[in-house]
C-alpha cells in the first residue's frame, strides 16, 4: 500500500507565507497539531473523526496548541466514536488537559465523551502500537527547557520517519535509515537557524548517511527559496494543503 501524506501546513513558527507545520498520513495518523489544524482539515474535506493516532513531537505552541480545538470539535459539533490515542513527551496528558481547560473548560467536564481517549508518554527508544501502527520514539536535541522527539512509524506496510524539531544528531540517522520516507524539518534556507534546528547543509549531510531508498521530504520551512543543492539531490519540499504519495 502507499502512504498519502497530506501537509496541513509546512512552515516554522515564524514563516511569513506558510502555515504551521503538520501532516496527516492516510487520513488516520496525525503528526503534530498546530492552531490551524481544524480549519485546514475542513478545508481539505478531511473528517477529523477519522484520526485515530496523534503524534506530538514537543510542546511548542505551533506543534500542539491545535488539540484544544480538535477536542472541542469532538465534544460539541461532531461527536466521534473511534478511540483516540495521543502520543507525546512526558506530561502529555497534563499539558493537553491544562491547555484545553484554559481554552474550553467544558470539554473535559463531560462525563461521557463517546470514545476512549488514551495518552501515551514516550521516552528515548520507547515503542508501542496504536491503531495498527508500530512506532518507536527517539529523543532529539532542540531546546534546553523542553524534551523533543522524533518518531519512526510502520503503518500500512510502509515505514515513515519524522524528525520533529531537532538539531543535527545521530538519532536522526537511526530513526530514518531504511524508512520509505523521512519527513524532516529544515527551518531556514541558509545557515542562520541557530543551534536548535536543521539547516540545508545538515540535510545534505543526512542524505549521505541515510539509505538512498529513503525519500526525503522537508517541512517546517522559513522564508526564502531552497538552495539548488537541495533540489539537485531529489529531496522534496512539502507545500501547504498538498498531498505527496509514497
Q: What is the 3-state secondary structure (H, E, C) of 177-240?
A: CCCCEEEEECCCCCCCCCCCCCCHHHHHHHHHHCCCCCEEEEECECCCCCCHHHHHCCCEECCC
Residues 6+ apart with CB under 8 A from 170: none
Residue 110, pLDDT score: 82
pTM beyond 0.75, yes or no? yes
If pLDDT is split at 50, 70 and 90, which confidence band does 119 have? Answer: very high
Read off the pLDDT of each residue in 95-101 and give the average, rounded to a whole number: 97
If pLDDT is split at 50, 70 and 90, which confidence band does 215 have? Answer: very high
Query: What is the Cα 13 distance to its own chain's centre?
Result: 14
Residue 187, pLDDT score: 95
pLDDT surpasses 90 at 231: no
* SS3 category, 11: strand
pLDDT surpasses 80 at 111: no
Cell of 159: 515505514
Read off the pLDDT of each residue in 96-101 and give the average, rounded to a whole number: 97
Residue 65, pLDDT score: 98
The more confident residue out of 122 and 191 is 122
Query: Do 148 and 176 meet the contact criterion of CB atoms below 8 Å apart?
Result: no
* Overall size of the chain counted in residues: 246
Read off the pLDDT of each residue in 210-226 and give the average, rounded to a whole number: 96
pLDDT surpasses 90 at 158: yes
Q: For residues 171 and 174, what is the distance between their CA atoms, to the nearest angstrom?
A: 5
Q: Among residues 138, 147, 140, 125, which one has the least CA distance to residue 59?
A: 147
| Domain 4-245 coded CATH 3.60.15.10 | yes
Lay out the sheet containing 127-130: strands in order across: 127-130, 133-140, 148-155, 158-162, 181-185, 215-219, 236-237
If pLDDT is split at 50, 70 and 90, which confidence band does 124 have? Answer: very high
Residue 212, pLDDT score: 96
User: pLDDT tens across 14-44, in order?
Assistant: 988 999 999 999 999 999 999 999 999 999 9
pLDDT surpasses 90 at 83: yes
Residue 226, pLDDT score: 94
Task: Give the rounded percent of residues in the chain with a pLDDT score beyond 70.
Answer: 100
User: pLDDT tens across 172-210, in order?
Assistant: 999 999 999 999 999 999 988 889 999 999 999 999 999
Read off the pLDDT of each residue in 87-114 and give the average, rounded to a whole number: 94
Task: Give the rounded percent of residues in the chain with a pLDDT score beyond 90.
Answer: 93
Amino acid at each position: 500500500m502507499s502512504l498519502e501524506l497530506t501537509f496541513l501546513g509546512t512552515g516554522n513558527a515564524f514563516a511569513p507565507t506558510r502555515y504551521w507545520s503538520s501532516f496527516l498520513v492516510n487520513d488516520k495518523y496525525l503528526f503534530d497539531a498546530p492552531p490551524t489544524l481544524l480549519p485546514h482539515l475542513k478545508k481539505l474535506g478531511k473528517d477529523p473523526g477519522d484520526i485515530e493516532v496523534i503524534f506530538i513531537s514537543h510542546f511548542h505552541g505551533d506543534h500542539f496548541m491545535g488539540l484544544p480545538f480538535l477536542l472541542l470539535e469532538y465534544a460539541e459539533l461532531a461527536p466521534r466514536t473511534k478511540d483516540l490515542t495521543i502520543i507525546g513527551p512526558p506530561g502529555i496528558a497534563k499539558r493537553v488537559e491544562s491547555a484545553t481547560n484554559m481554552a474550553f473548560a467544558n470539554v473535559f467536564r463531560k462525563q461521557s465523551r463517546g470514545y476512549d481517549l488514551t495518552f501515551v508518554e514516550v521516552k528515548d527508544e520507547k515503542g508501542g502500537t496504536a491503531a495498527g501502527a508500530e512506532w518507536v520514539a527517539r529523543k532529539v536535541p532542540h531546546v534546553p527547557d523542553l524534551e523533543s522527539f522524533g518518531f519512526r512509524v510502520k503503518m500500512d506496510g510502509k515505514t515513515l520517519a519524522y524528525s520533529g524539531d531537532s538539531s543535527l544528531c545521530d538519532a536522526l540517522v537511526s530513526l530514518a535509515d531504511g524508512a520509505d520516507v523521512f519527513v524532516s524539518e529544515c527551518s531556514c534556507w541558509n545557515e542562520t537557524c541557530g543551534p536548535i534546528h536543521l539547516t540545508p547543509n545538515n540535510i545534505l549531510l543526512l542524505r549521505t548517511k541515510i539509505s538512498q531508498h529513503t525519500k526525503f521530504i522537508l517541512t517546517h520551512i522559513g522564508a526564502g527559496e531552497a538552495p539548488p543543492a537541495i533540489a539537485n539531490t531529489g529531496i522534496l519540499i512539502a507545500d501547504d494543503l498538498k498531498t505527496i504519495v509514497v
